[in-house]
């Protein structure tokens, strides 16, 4: 028996949920990996496989057994193990018995604290074949499966019925029962191309054998790239370029074992419908890849991925064209019907749709948002009337048939219907942009009215939900407040909009029913948003201590907060930063412990030591210039200028006794340090910087 062998694990099932397949595969592989590590088994590369009817792992060079290990148990101290006559005490005898040996077989262990009786036993490592079934079972039990199912008369539960299990260690079968199925060494090929069992001689042969004989591309990543390549090629052949959505590509990859791209077409009359609606129905309902021309305009073609190499591809093409036609007809009908009523005629009907029981209807919400949007637009020098109009129309497309059928088109259809109604172009654009960013990393609103509406809508939701006490906890965030908070912050920071967040939240609170006391929720919302900002900057590589240093000064303008963060980050890269940060910490400690009143100004006549005179002179020489830089938000250059204080600050602490016996000298020196600290605190509390 060799010291290392390859292991193959395969769980054969009925078709697994396509949107969960990749996640299940990754979790299964990670569970097995952890199990091997915990068992102390050495192994090489893990290869993860996932296809519609199977989860599999090929592990290279897995140790055939655990290593033997010495087990050492410490017993009583030698002084307590034997009596005055040298006979073993009951404690020593009991310890020996528990170890399965006699007292004279025990050894002595000398430590700094004394001598102890110990038992040394060699624990033989278990064979890997004995351990694998439990490792596999545990990993399967821990998979992220929301709802498990049972099948047949058995008691086993899994996401789908299990039909076969392969456990092959080298060229030997591991005999076990997994999920009520006896293990074997036969897999299954494609459901139609090769339904018969396939004998596996060794783990390394698994994937190549399934592909060549079984017509199954079992490697998820390879199958995904094969599909991508086929779709790209088919798009070019159709005279355009295929739109490949990554989520759709993953889902299609999880639906097929042996992909085959087929191009279909539909009538050009459907192109009168907004492209987003056609694309949505093709991608979401039919799992098709749309095709566009060089300018990005939709073409009357689509690409579908079949799970079989058909002997009559024309029939497959015709079948898919027949299926998609009613879907496109529905979209065309909705488009025609929805335009018969203007968006503004739907405003009153928003009063029948509850936003939140304690916060009223959607009409109540949009009226609040309109007031807040007017305020924000005024602050930005935008057009308040456009922002107000956009806010009132913002949710009207939720009442359209197209959006009812395709909820993901909310905002998009609002833009089309607004343009059809003759609304200003910027209002129409804002109806779409109000939802941007929809997710982390998504694009931001581009128009000023879109930015205003997107912020106003989110701020109203944040203040309202906090005011009724439904603060997000753990993973529960039904109103997506974390995403809303980050959306506002990104618009302000990445959009270069210099507004005071605390003031915006305060204004939002004013538009709620006074009985709600929304103003009491403002501080909580602000702190919540600052924690979202912490996560945002952590992802950008800003260290926690830099964030804390700036946060300590409570800046309320996110764009200003951003400038301070980057200034402090750049400052800490200077050679002088460490010394000045330490000095700021020391100054903070001194001033914090001082109970006496500190003068507002420094009396130059009381500066008697050369070192304190030098520091005061250096500080005076920089103060006006640096203060002006800080006033205009030029924090980076201001902090760089303050780096010149390192030498006089170091000399001061090396040569000057701050807490002098003379009360006037002491007060003057404290005033000098207070001025120094105040200048640095204009940006951040540098004493919080680590290392």
pLDDT tens for each residue of 90-102: 888 888 888 888 8
CATH code, domain with 368: 1.10.3210
Query: Taking Cα atoms as reference points, which of 198, 208, 130, 138 lies closest to residue 164?
Result: 198
Query: Taking Cα atoms as reference points, which of 330, 374, 382 lies closest to residue 511?
Result: 374
**What is the per-residue pLDDT for 134?**
96
CATH code, domain with 632: 1.10.730
| Digit-coded pLDDT (tens) for 9-68 | 999 999 999 999 999 999 999 999 999 999 999 999 999 999 999 999 999 999 999 887
Determine the average pLDDT of the residues in 637-646: 91
**What is the per-residue pLDDT for 481?**
96
| Among candidate residues 338, 359, 380, the one where a domain is terminated | 338
| Among candidate residues 157, 184, 212, the one where a domain is terminated | 212
Determine, yes or no, domain membership for 378: yes
Tell me: do 301 and 331 sit in the same domain.
Answer: yes
**What is the per-residue pLDDT for 606?**
87
Determine, yes or no, domain membership for 237: yes
Give the integer Cα–Cα distance in Å for 309 and 259. Answer: 8
pLDDT of 2 above 60: no
Q: Give the structural domain span for 116.
A: 69-123
Tell me: do 279 and 300 sit in the same domain.
Answer: yes
Q: What Å distances lie between residue 273 and 266, 269, 270, 327, 631, CA to CA?
A: 13, 8, 6, 12, 54
Determine, yes or no, domain membership for 539: no
**What is the per-residue pLDDT for 1?**
41
Tell me: do 402 and 323 sit in the same domain.
Answer: no
Tell me: do 526 and 435 sit in the same domain.
Answer: yes
Tell me: do 611 and 634 sit in the same domain.
Answer: yes
Task: Name, of 66-80, 532-546, 575-589, the range with top average pLDDT.
Answer: 532-546
| Among candidate residues 303, 338, 373, the one where a domain is terminated | 338
| Digit-coded pLDDT (tens) for 180-236 | 999 999 999 999 999 999 999 999 999 999 999 999 999 999 999 999 999 999 999
The pairing of strands 181-184 and 162-169 is parallel
Tell me: do 36 and 178 sit in the same domain.
Answer: yes
Tell me: do 392 and 311 sit in the same domain.
Answer: no
Residues in the chain: 691
Determine, yes or no, domain membership for 544: no
The SS3 assignment for 439 reads: coil
Q: What Å distances lie between residue 256 and 109, 259, 309, 399, CA to CA?
A: 64, 6, 11, 37
The DSSP code for 496 is: T
Indicate the average pLDDT of the chain. 93
Tell me: do 179 and 258 sit in the same domain.
Answer: no
**For the residues of 233-282, what is the DSSP string, one character each?**
HHHHHTTSEE---HHHHHHHHTT-SS-EEEEEE--GGGGGS-HHHHHHII
Tell me: do 140 and 56 sit in the same domain.
Answer: yes
Tell me: do 294 and 366 sit in the same domain.
Answer: no
Name the percent of the chain lying above pLDDT 70. Answer: 100
Determine, yes or no, domain membership for 553: no
- How many domains does the chain divide into? 5
Determine the average pLDDT of the residues in 392-397: 98
Determine, yes or no, domain membership for 548: no
Contact 61, 6 (CB under 8 A): yes
| Digit-coded pLDDT (tens) for 578-607 | 888 888 888 888 998 888 888 888 888 888
CATH code, domain with 38: 3.30.70
Determine, yes or no, domain membership for 194: yes
The SS3 assignment for 167 reads: strand
Determine, yes or no, domain membership for 546: no
Tell me: do 62 and 73 sit in the same domain.
Answer: no
Tell me: do 416 and 292 sit in the same domain.
Answer: no
């Amino acid at each position: 028996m060799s010291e290392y062998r390859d292991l193959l694990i395969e769980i054969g099932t009925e078709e697994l949920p396509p949107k969960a397949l990749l996640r299940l595969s990754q979790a299964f592989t990670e569970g097995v990996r952890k199990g091997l590590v915990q068992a102390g088994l050495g192994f090489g590369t893990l290869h993860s496989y996932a296809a519609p009817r199977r989860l599999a792992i090929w592990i290279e060079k897995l140790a055939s057994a655990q290593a033997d290990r010495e087990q050492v148990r410490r017993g009583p101290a030698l002084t307590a193990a034997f009596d005055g006559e040298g006979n073993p005490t009951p404690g020593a005898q009991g310890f020996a018995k528990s170890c399965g040996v006699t007292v004279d077989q025990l050894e002595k262990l000398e430590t700094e604290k004394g001598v102890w009786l110990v038992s040394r036993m060699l624990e033989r490592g278990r064979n890997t074949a004995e351990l694998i079934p439990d490792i596999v079972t545990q990993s399967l039990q821990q998979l992220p499966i929301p709802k498990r199912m049972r099948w047949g008369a058995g008691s086993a539960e899994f996401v789908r019925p299990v039909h076969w299990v392969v456990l092959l260690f080298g060229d030997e079968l591991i005999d076990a029962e997994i999920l009520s199925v006896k293990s074997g060494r036969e897999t299954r090929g494609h459901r139609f191309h090769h339904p018969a069992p396939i004998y596996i001689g060794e783990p390394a042969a698994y994937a190549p054998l399934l592909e060549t004989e079984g017509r199954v591309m079992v490697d998820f990543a390879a199958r995904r790239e094969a599909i991508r390549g086929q779709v790209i090629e088919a798009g070019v052949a159709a005279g355009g370029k295929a739109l490949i959505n990554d989520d759709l590509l993953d889902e299609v990859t999880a639906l097929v074992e042996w992909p085959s791209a087929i191009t279909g077409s539909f009538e050009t009359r459907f192109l009168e419908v907004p492209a987003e609606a056609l694309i949505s129905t093709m991608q979401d309902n039919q799992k098709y890849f749309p095709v566009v021309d060089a300018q990005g305009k939709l073409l009357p073609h689509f690409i579908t991925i079949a799970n079989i190499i058909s002997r009559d591809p024309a029939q497959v093409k015709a079948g898919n064209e027949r299926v998609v036609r009613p879907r496109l007809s529905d979209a065309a009908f909705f488009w025609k019907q929805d335009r018969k009523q203007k968006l503004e005629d739907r405003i009153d009907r928003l009063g029948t749709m509850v936003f939140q029981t304690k916060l009223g209807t959607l009409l109540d919400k949009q009226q609040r948002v309109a007031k807040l949007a007017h305020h924000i637009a005024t602050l930005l020098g935008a057009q308040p009337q456009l922002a107000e109009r956009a806010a009132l129309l913002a949710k009207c497309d939720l009442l359209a048939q197209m959006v009812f059928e395709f909820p993901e088109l909310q905002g998009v259809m609002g833009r089309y219907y607004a343009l059809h109604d003759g609304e200003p172009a910027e209002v129409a654009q804002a109806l779409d942009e109000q939802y941007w960013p929809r997710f982390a990393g998504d694009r931001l609103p581009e128009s000023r009215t879109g930015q205003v509406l997107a912020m106003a809508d989110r701020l109203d939701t944040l203040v309202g939900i906090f005011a009724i006490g439904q603060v997000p906890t753990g993973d529960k965030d039904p109103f997506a407040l974390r995403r809303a908070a980050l959306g506002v912050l990104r618009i302000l920071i990445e959009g270069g909009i210099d507004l005071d967040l605390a003031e915006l939240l305060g204004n939002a609170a004013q538009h709620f029913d006074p009985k709600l006391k929304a103003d009491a929720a403002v501080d909580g919302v602000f702190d919540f948003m600052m924690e979202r900002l912490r996560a945002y900057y952590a992802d950008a590589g800003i260290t926690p201590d830099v964030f804390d240093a700036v946060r300590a000064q409570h800046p309320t303008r996110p764009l200003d907060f951003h400038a301070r963060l980057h200034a402090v980050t750049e400052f800490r890269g200077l050679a002088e930063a460490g010394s000045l940060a330490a000095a700021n910490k020391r100054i903070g400690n001194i001033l914090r412990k001082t109970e006496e009143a500190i003068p507002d100004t420094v009396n130059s006549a009381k500066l008697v030591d050369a070192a304190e005179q030098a520091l005061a002179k250096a500080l005076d020489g920089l103060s006006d210039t640096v203060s002006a830089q800080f006033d205009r938000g030029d924090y980076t250059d201001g902090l760089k200028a303050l780096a010149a204080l390192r030498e006089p600050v170091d000399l001061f602490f090396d040569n000057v006794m701050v807490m002098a016996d003379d009360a006037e000298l002491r007060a003057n020196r404290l005033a000098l340090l207070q001025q120094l600290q105040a200048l640095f605190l204009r940006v951040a509390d540098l004493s919080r910087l680590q290392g």
